[in-house]
Structure 1
Amino acid sequence: MTKLSKIRNFSIVAHIDHGKSTLADRLIQSTNTVADRDMKEQLLDSMDIERERGITIKANTVRIDYKANDGEDYILNLIDTPGHVDFAYEVSRSMRAVEGSLLVVDASQGVEAQTLANVYTAIEADHEIVPVLNKVDLPAAEPERVAEQIEDVIGIDATDACLISAKTGLGIEDVLEAIVTRLPAPLKGDENAPLKAMLVDSWYDAYLGVIVLVRIIDGTLKKGQRVKFMSNNTLHHVDRVGVFRPEMEQVDQLGPGELGFLTASIKQVRDTRVGDTITNDRNGVEVPLDGFKPAQPVVFCGLFPVDSAEFEDLRDAIDKLALNDASFSYEMETSAALGFGFRCGFLGLLHLEVIRDRIEREYNIELITTAPSVIYHVYMKDGEMIEMHNPADMPDMSKVDHLEEPRIKATILVPDEYLGDVLKLCQDRRGIQEDLTYAGSRAMVVYDLPLNEVVFDFYDRLKSVTKGYASFDYQMTGYREDNLVKMSVLVNDEPVDALSTMVHRDRAETRGRAMCEKLKDLIPRHMFKIPIQAAIGGKVIARETLSALRKDVTAKCYGGDATRKKKLLEKQKAGKKKMRQFGKVDIPQEAFISALKMDS
């Protein structure tokens, strides 16, 4: 059993691309945890999509043995966390399993929005924080300025920050020493007490069933033990106990303060709730640990197979993905235009993209994604409140008292010269400015924005108006009433449910006009005239007409009386009118996808 004083549990937090995963690679390499021949970039990022995009999506853990300068042997348990705001829940729960954090800041870029968000998460979890300035080998690096910025903006003493280059391996030894000397050991833990372990994460493995990542607080966990999961009172027989180096390695037992995994032939990830307490089957602990808040999906959108025959394959794929991602929710839905599909909930647009890419790549299913929407609260006149996920489900407006939409608090860090463009963008998206301060030459703007305006293309617009220099982070603040209406799109007088969206009444006309113009270019011409309309309730607010393809019926007439031509044209006109009554307009799949990528 390892003594508590010889264990250090810590996570690495930083903004996107400041070098978390590279630092993790160097720590693993310099302690010979993995042989050089097995070493590769982003060692802990196991998904193809993580390696391809160069981002971390799942928090991963590894156990490192380290012999410190004082001659003692230490066990370091490292959790590498994601940097994107969409995966902030991964960060927050990893924090609860460890006692300290390495805060990695790029010495050329300085403090960014996500750096702040992650540091505050660490401070909330009572962490000891060691600042690490990475990329000091770059010509543009200014470690003194960035250290000052950390002190000004975050309020952490950065005088003895570790100066490193994770790419070249410079200063890695200092980081290891700082972990041992400056981060705390687990505070308490009694190996003779009943087992009390926190379930940090769980995922599905085809051979072993569900693998459960646990942090032992008290007691010991051994192979063959019967354990109880307290949230749903299920009993399991432990098949194997082990640690990650980063490959799975079995051990005899795990003691207080240690991070490791257990498998117990559990079939479904749903049976293992993140934040749950695991204890002995008999004489276990009475009071569970206070768990984590479940991840709340923020953005909803419909996923439909392009080929409706692939619906069962899609159901299978979504079931399997949901096994590994507790934050992803889904239910079945049907659409008149797109057939059968699923309404899915995500933590943000990047999460949506990642899930969509994984379904298309791992299961080979072509998808149509409908416009992303958020949850609205619809208050009826009889006092009832309905949560509306899909604009197509909007109840009759005469019975509705008012609508509330979700709001977020957005923090944007931006160089001074782009500040005007950012303020204009936020005003255009119905934002309310709350704060504007300066950190060096960069402005920090805090805005209260409607989430509905952010999920479309806010992030892309922000990056383009600031040439990629702005960083953005947000958190949900609650709901507020606003003047919202449902805008439906009619093609040939038939409503197309997949294109209906919620808009602010003041914006409805411009949104509707843009949508109609776009569809006019996207829908192919038919033999008859097609009106394309945007409407609110029964009132049409915008219209475009797609002209008909015409056959020259008068080609064979030459000379003679004009009434002959007229007669033929009238006959054609009557035929077209009849056609339009019974004709069905085919809207190609590409038109749906392009129309939903609105660039207002």
Structure 2
Amino acid sequence: MQHIRNFSIIAHIDHGKSTLADRLIQECGGVSEREMTSQIMDTMDIEKERGITIKAQSVRLKYILDKEEYILNLIDTPGHVDFSYEVSRSLGSCEGALLVVDASQGVEAQTIANVYIALENNLEIIPVINKIDLPAADPIAVAEDIEETIGIDCTEVLQVSAKSGIGIKELLEKIVRQIPPPNGDKDAPTKALIYDSWFDNYLGALALVRLKDGSIKVGQEVLVMSTGKKHEVLALYYPHPVHKISTKEISCGEIGIISLGLKNVTDMAVGDTITDAKNPVSKPIEGFIPAKPFVFAGIYPIDTDRFEELRDALNKLKMNDSALSFEPETSVALGFGFRVGFLGLLHMEVVKERLEREFSLDLIATAPTVIYEVTLTDGSKVFVQNPSELPPEQKIASIEEPYVRASVITPSEYLGNIITLLSNRRGIQEKMEYLTQSRVLLVYALPSNEIVMDFYDKLKSCTKGYASFDYEPIESREGNLVKLDIRVAGEVVDALSVIVDKDKSYEKGKALVESMKEIIPRQLFEVAIQASIGNKVIARETVKSMGKNVTAKCYGGDITRKRKLLEKQKEGKKRMKAIGKVELPQEAFLAVLKID
């Protein structure tokens, strides 16, 4: 155990985490030159294209220092706020962390959030300034920034370039010398923390575990503590980016992959504890929370015949992603589809993109919403995640909506823009602090439904991309909320209903009907588009009818002949309006997402 080092890399998105992992693997000779690819730890195409880590990966490396062989277990973590629970479990499996900060950008909001998780787990933090070969790099200013913002001593901070390999040898040496070896009792009963799980087509559900105490052997009967089920260990592996390394035993302090022959990832949830079935530990490792969806959206196939294919695709994705939840729902406007729960907006984007790419489906997603707690006049409570399920206004006593604590770090010249944006989104300021002369930290309490639509895009555009943003759920608070319905030709379109703040409902309704007017094609009859709260119409636009020139054939003669033809046309249009149906184009549903 004295020769094992378990560490992870924490950084903001795009600060060079995956590239640094590549260099460390290369330097230790973990992967041959022939097998090496850039971003080897990112296995999905979406991860490589977007430059983000969605699924945390691990690798076991061998490193020789002073003629002694050390085992380095690198646990790569996702960088995005949606996956912060996975980050916390991964960091709970380590003794140390590399805090990577971009030399040209400085400390960002996500970096701070992950550092606090690392500090809660009592990890040894090694600050690393990356991208020092960039023309805009200012490592001295960034070192001061880390000291002031996070409070870590940066007198001996390492300056590296993951792209060109500068400073990688020194970094490996520092990892071995500074990060403590794991502590645990080799003779105690088996106690392992699951910090990642996924589905393999040949081996079934696999769990990536860190052994806190004892050991696990092939053939041993183990107990998964949250489900209470017992299983036999069929195979054990050490993680490797290209091919898993088979082993007969994983001992205390090590990380490894366990195969129990399970068909479902939910039986091996992230954060759960595995112990020996015959001699179990008395209590599981603390901090286990079953994955809870934060954002909900309806996902429908554009071609309604492909509903079953969408169901199969979601079931296959769920095998790999235990945080995904879905149930069937129907919409008058969109037909059959599913109400899907996601960890956050990035998770929603990734899932939708994977469904479209990997399963060749054409999909449409409704506006994302959060869970509202509705207290009815009879005292009972209901939870609503779909606006069309909201009870009638006269039956509602109060509606509570979830809030988040949002941290925004921005250059000071954009402070006015951001405060305006946060105030417009019903934000309540909790803290404002100048980190340096040119950078400000803002902490606001914000309603969740104000950030699930397009908040991140607006934040980036009003700060030219320089602000960074992080949030954590806090509690539910009562809000003055109403359901805004959109009626087309008198009929409510359920898929376009949204829950909004009453004070903003008029502007939102007006903006929605105006954008719908541009999208809905002209019919032979007049089409009224209305925004309403209950039965009260608050905004209206009219799509003018296409007129046929019925008087063209009428030349000469008395005016009454023309009038007779126009009256006849008017009657026909009236009849059409009474029975006419309007087909809504796909863009109409996307218009809801683009309104601000």
> Which bin holds the TM-score, normalised by the shorter protein?
over 0.9
Aligned to 1:303: 299
Q: Within 1, Cα distance between the matches of 2:277 and 2:190?
A: 10
2:500 pairs with 498, 503, 509, which one? 503
2:567 pairs with 565, 570, 592, which one? 570
1:150 aligns with 2:146: yes
1:103 aligns with 2:99: yes
Which stretches in structure 2 are left out of the alignment for 5+ residues? Answer: none
1:228 aligns with 2:223: yes
Task: Report runs of 4+ in structure 1 exceeding 4 Å deviation.
Answer: none
SS for the counterpart of 2:299 is strand
1:457 aligns with 2:447: no
| Conservation of the 8 A alpha-carbon contact between 1:196 and 1:285 | yes
Aligned to 1:560: 557
Q: Within 2, Cα distance between the matches of 1:264 and 1:421?
A: 53
Aligned to 1:125: 121
SS for the counterpart of 2:416 is helix
| Conservation of the 8 A alpha-carbon contact between 2:269 and 2:290 | no
Q: Within 1, Cα distance between the matches of 2:152 and 2:380?
A: 48
How far off its partner does 1:330 sit? 1.1
Q: Which amino acid aligns with 1:250?
A: S
1:342 aligns with 2:350: no
1:493-512, Cα deviation, whole Å (9 max, x unpaired): 00000000011111111110
1:56 pairs with 53, 58, 63, which one? 53
| Conservation of the 8 A alpha-carbon contact between 1:274 and 1:291 | no
1:376 pairs with 362, 372, 382, which one? 372
Q: Within 1, Cα distance between the matches of 2:440 and 2:196?
A: 37
Larger displacement relative to structure 2 (430-439 or 490-499):
430-439
Q: Within 1, Cα distance between the matches of 2:77 and 2:226?
A: 26
Distance 1:286 1:445, change over 3 A: closer
Aligned to 1:135: 131
Which stretches in structure 1 are left out of the alignment for 5+ residues? Answer: none
SS for the counterpart of 2:113 is helix
Aligned to 1:243: 238
Aligned to 1:201: 196
Q: Within 1, Cα distance between the matches of 2:221 and 2:292?
A: 32
1:492 aligns with 2:489: yes
Instruction: Report matched runs for 1:55-454 at 5 Å.
Output: 55-68=52-65, 70-190=66-186, 192-246=187-241, 247-440=243-436, 441-454=438-451
How far off its partner does 1:286 sit? 3.0
Aligned to 1:472: 469
How far off its partner does 1:281 sit? 2.3
How far off its partner does 1:143 sit? 1.4
1:499-548, Cα deviation, whole Å (9 max, x unpaired): 00011111111110111011111111111111000000110000001111
Q: Within 1, Cα distance between the matches of 2:423 and 2:313?
A: 41
Aligned to 1:549: 546
| Conservation of the 8 A alpha-carbon contact between 2:486 and 2:497 | yes
Q: Name the Cα RMSD after superposition.
A: 1.1
| Conservation of the 8 A alpha-carbon contact between 1:533 and 1:541 | yes
SS for the counterpart of 2:588 is helix
1:581 pairs with 568, 578, 581, which one? 578
1:11 aligns with 2:14: no
SS for the counterpart of 1:52 is helix
1:410-449, Cα deviation, whole Å (9 max, x unpaired): 1111111111111111111111112111122111111111
| Conservation of the 8 A alpha-carbon contact between 1:432 and 1:448 | yes
SS for the counterpart of 1:568 is helix
Q: Within 1, Cα distance between the matches of 2:509 and 2:4?
A: 61
SS for the counterpart of 1:507 is helix
Q: Which amino acid aligns with 1:477?
A: I
| Conservation of the 8 A alpha-carbon contact between 2:392 and 2:534 | no
Q: Within 1, Cα distance between the matches of 2:49 and 2:327?
A: 29
Larger displacement relative to structure 2 (372-381 or 291-300):
291-300
Aligned to 1:592: 589
How far off its partner does 1:196 sit? 1.5
How far off its partner does 1:382 sit? 1.9
How far off its partner does 1:75 sit? 0.5
How far off its partner does 1:276 sit? 1.8
How far off its partner does 1:291 sit? 4.3
Q: Within 2, Cα distance between the matches of 1:164 and 1:567?
A: 86
Q: Within 1, Cα distance between the matches of 2:101 and 2:395?
A: 53
Q: Within 1, Cα distance between the matches of 2:291 and 2:234?
A: 29
Q: Within 1, Cα distance between the matches of 2:332 and 2:530?
A: 18
1:465-497, Cα deviation, whole Å (9 max, x unpaired): 111111111111111111111000000000000
How far off its partner does 1:295 sit? 2.8
1:43 aligns with 2:23: no
| Conservation of the 8 A alpha-carbon contact between 1:375 and 1:388 | yes
* TM-score normalised over the length of structure 1: 0.97
Q: Which amino acid aligns with 2:410?
A: V
Q: Within 2, Cα distance between the matches of 1:193 and 1:84?
A: 36
Q: Which amino acid aligns with 1:237?
A: E
| Conservation of the 8 A alpha-carbon contact between 2:86 and 2:270 | no
Q: Which amino acid aligns with 2:205?
A: V
Aligned to 2:531: 534
Q: Within 1, Cα distance between the matches of 2:289 and 2:589?
A: 36
1:549-579, Cα deviation, whole Å (9 max, x unpaired): 1111111111111111111111111111111
